[in-house]
Amino acid sequence: MSEVEQDHVREERIDMEAVVDAYNEEERAMGWYYYLEDRINFPFKAKWINRNKPEGRDVMVIEMSPEDKCSSDMFVEVIYREGDFEDVFSARLSEIEPINIDSATEEAIGDWHYWIAREYQF
């Protein structure tokens, strides 16, 4: 059971906007995908934090990953630079900590982080 307290406003928004009319895992995944794609304003700066680099990497989040990559988790495409090296990677949205984003993007990413923290699944 999750240690994150239930947020009834967020639960209602997720139920009515992200996973509305979704009856199986695939429909819930695609509901989330389009919910996030419609609400996140790309590009934005972020920290990409994962177990390989817990202090985080500075990245630019440029778009949602293709739909087929998001059937089991939500991914975004990030530009990572280190010195002269630059590459694009797919990163789990749950590992992204946005920096200075607008309120719509903050709410959408917050909804996804909440979903993950509550240990919900597609």
Q: How is the chain split into domains, by residue range? A: 8-117
Is 8-117 in CATH node 2.30.30.530? Answer: yes
Ranges under pLDDT 50 in the chain: none
Side-chain-facing half-sphere of 56: CA atoms under 13 Å = 15
pLDDT of amino acid 1? 63
77: CB partners within 8 A, 6+ apart: 61, 62, 63, 64, 65, 88, 89, 90, 91
Token digits of residue 19: 């996973």
pLDDT of amino acid 55? 85
Q: How many Å separate Cα 82 from the centre of its chain?
A: 23
pLDDT of amino acid 62? 98
Angle at alpha carbon of residue 32, lines to 28 and 38, rounded to 5°: 145
Q: How far apart are the first and last CA of the chain?
A: 16
The backbone torsions φ and ψ at residue 61, rounded to the nearest 5 degrees and listed phi first, read -90, 120
Token digits of residue 62: 């440029």
The candidate with the shortest Cα–Cα distance to 118, out of 35, 5, 15, is 5
pLDDT of amino acid 83? 85
In this prediction the pTM is 0.93
